[in-house]
Amino acid sequence: MIKLLSIPFLFLICSLYFTIPAHGQQTSQTVKGTVIDDKGDPLPGSTIIVQGTSLTAIADVKGRYSVSLDPGNYTLRVSFLGYVSSHYKIKVVTGANITQNISLSADNSSLQQVEITGRKERTYKTKSTFIGNKTETDIKDLPQSVSYASKELMADQGAIRTGDVVKNFSGVSQFTFYDDLTIRGFRVNGQSNTQLVNGLRTSTGFWKQPLTNYLERVEVLKGPSSALYGNASPGGVVNRVTKKPLNETRRQLSMSLGSFNTLRGLADFTGPASKDSTLLYRINLGYEDAGSFRDLQFDKNIVIAPSLSFVASEKTQINFDMVYNSSRSRLDRGQSVIGNDLYSTPQSLALSTANDFLNEQTYIVTLSANHRFNENLSFNLAYSKTGYQEDLYEHRSANAFAKDKLGKDIPNLVNMQVFQRKRKRYIDNLSGYFNYNVKTGSVEHKIVVGYDYGSEKMPAGASQLTASGYRNATNTGTIASYVAKDSLKYLRDPKGNPVPNIPSFDLTNSINSQRMQDDSKAFFAPTTLAPTYYYLNAGYVQDQIKLGRFQALLGIRYEYYTDFINYATSTEGKTHSSAWLPRLGLIYSATKNINVYGSYVMGYNPQTAANLANPNAGGPFAPVTSNMIEFGAKSSWFDNRLAITTSIYQIEQRNTLYNANDLINPDLLRPVGKERARGFEFDITGRILPNWSILASYAYNDAKIVESLVPAELGLQKPNAPKNTANIWTRYNFISGQLSGFGFGLGSNYVGKRNLSINLSQTIPEYLLINAAAYYRVNKVQIQVNANNITGKKYWVGGYDYIRLFPGAPSNYLLTLTYDF
């Protein structure tokens, strides 16, 4: 049996084999022409694919294309977003160039009701989304802001993790370098069970960002999305859309080498699995063995992501998706600094030891089906199951400095603790809904009526051992914290200082503290990880009404939430909560290219034992409630190649949880009364020219605490929520002349100053990063180099306090060889 470590070498062998040029090739002839629409206008950016080969041409600004082919018979497949694809058969003979002009007709067919077949376009711009209405909707017709990144953008930037992707979105930044984000000033993380995969609720282990090699796009629906998806952050919901099968054969292998000993091999295969194309397949594979600029950190990942689409008839389609990720790594709890000096320790400093480990396994399985009863009525059903398993051993800070005999901080010594934890989590999500499109006179209705069921369970067996605190005077146990007036109760060193249960981490001698530690003499105590279980039932109805230039979106959801107290014990009981969640939106088509909109939505998120990640957080807590008012405009330009969105908003939220800064229990949380975020966002996505792509955004976000029992917090900017962010990325390809085949990319990311989450008086500075890329394609092979943070900027992506800071990567590069066949 082949060992898993041999996987990247197999990719390398395959890549090298397929890049060997063939000998004895015949003289090529030029096939050229112009792509036009029904009115005779050119369609710049049209894609011309020579079927059976990897040859592709893109029409220029005048709709002209050309491709060189050896003598033989070929079929050209020509496509353009919003038009019906066409096929043209041609015969190439020696000594005769061919002119083949092409005409495409507008696609007036109905939109998909469920995302089963894959997206064929190869651009940054996506015309439609399923996230906003649970049916394919033109983004311009959705009265709510959506940001997204396509697989093409991710590939051009060499982005392999969601944190690398969301930096392109307005109003989105990292809270930490875990799967942990801030959207419009509100926190969204993978462990809160408010993220989506293919529109269904899921969860991650929180510690590691999800990989992206199996994703078609990453998108964010801004604002509360509870009316469609249940409990969620008021800032927005993140949806990861997996790659779906195509009805044409595409195969790709890639190998990457880069900084921090990064080695990565990826594969993507798709096409018909049957002669009649009723069964389509896609499989994405990934292998990663990567180090880090952070001490002792590494990531070893294996990803297997198959997908099958069965087109049973013109009316019935079924899809199966699975994503499996096996991850081995260490858990990085961040950088600690001496006192309040951000630059007193290197950003590479991690408080891990050589015997720490984090092993995780995650699977997400989705089965979905769509049946169309007639032209107006269809039914969609989808079920998703997520399984997560964690095996952790870590040395980490106790979120405080060590104490001297007087109870004062020793600024170069970080108080440490050890966690040993095993747990599993399972998330189930069932979604069924009817789509009914009907026209009554001049009024059009798109009605959605549906039911959702969701549950999350952490079964019995989850457990944690914790070693922390200070040793007692008899060295037979521990005391949680040090109190100077009771110093005689503690074991003391020759200087009279209390002896910690776990040796402190010396920031001035990190090598000694990072070596393997003998914890056999430490006092471990069990920490409660009680089984948890909750489920929810919800029903909703929504109608998108269109009359002339006006559209109105009216929706309401009723959610009934059940949480188990003392689950799986003799004192098990149930608590219930419920909410009515309205959603209102108006759209006016000012011109053919411009829609303006306004919307009001409400959010709701219970804060119970089952969905609080930390068992020491306290509670019970009242549910988080929120609402948002948003106005904006969406437009398309340059023959629908470029999309521009602007929006202004106000979000209010009550009962957000903050750290209580309790000395005995540093994980204890407390609610604040009210937070409010007001802001402006601007996004550009698409192509200026057929060979010039761009994505740019700017966001201003004034997110403040406006009600609190702690007066000093009033008026403070919310933690890890920058007031200003801006991003730009552009790629230009040379399509003629001596530079034909070359391309370059250039981008920048700006994030403003931020407050930290536990100590709001501590801040991290603003930063501006410059990134670049170069590309060269010869037929089926592309060589790509990405250089990130090329100025070597020192920066932090987020943090809790100056003991847990999360630095960003220094200058780094990635070399990628890709072969399409």
Report cis status (omega within 30 of 0) of the bond before 620: yes
Q: Are strands 200-202 and 215-222 parallel, antiparallel or unpaired?
A: unpaired
Per-residue DSSP letters for 375-444? Answer: SSEEEEEEEEEEEEEEEEEEEEEEEEEEE-TTS-EEEEEEEEEEEEEEEEEEEEEEEEEEEEEEEETTEE
Structure tokens at 93: 């003979």
pLDDT for position 382: 94
Pairwise CA distance, residues 299 & 319, whole Å: 31
- Other beta carbons within 10 Å of 104: 19
Biggest CA–CA distance in the chain, Å, is 99
Domains of the chain in start order, with CATH, are 4-103 (2.60.40.1120), 128-241 (2.170.130.10), 242-464+527-820 (2.40.170.20)
Tokens 């898993």: give the residue: 4
Nearest CA among 51, 44, 46 for reference residue 69: 51
Structure tokens at 703: 């997110």
Tokens 């994980």: give the residue: 667
3-class SS of residue 484: helix
pLDDT for position 12: 44
10-residue stretch averages of pLDDT, the chain, 821 residues long: 44 43 60 85 82 83 87 88 79 88 67 52 81 84 93 94 93 93 89 79 86 92 80 85 90 97 97 90 97 97 96 89 97 95 96 97 95 92 96 96 96 96 94 93 94 93 95 96 95 96 96 95 91 93 95 94 89 90 95 95 76 62 88 93 96 84 73 91 94 96 90 89 97 91 96 88 96 95 97 96 96 97 90
The 3-class SS string of 47-102 reads: EEEECCCCCEEECCCCCEEEEEECCEEEEEEEECCCECCEEEEEEECCCCCEECCE
* β-strand partners of 729: 695, 747
Nearest CA among 184, 290, 199, 208 for reference residue 239: 199
Nearest CA among 234, 168, 232 for reference residue 199: 232
pLDDT for position 194: 65
370's CB contacts (< 8 A; 6+ apart) are 112, 113, 114, 116, 316, 317, 378, 379, 380
Nearest CA among 329, 324, 245 for reference residue 291: 329
Helix extents (H) in 649-779: none
Pairwise CA distance, residues 522 & 500, whole Å: 10
pLDDT for position 16: 41
Tokens 């370059």: give the residue: 744
CB 358 within 8 A of CB 331: yes
Q: Radius of gyration (Cα) for the chain, nearest Å?
A: 28
Pairwise CA distance, residues 299 & 330, whole Å: 8
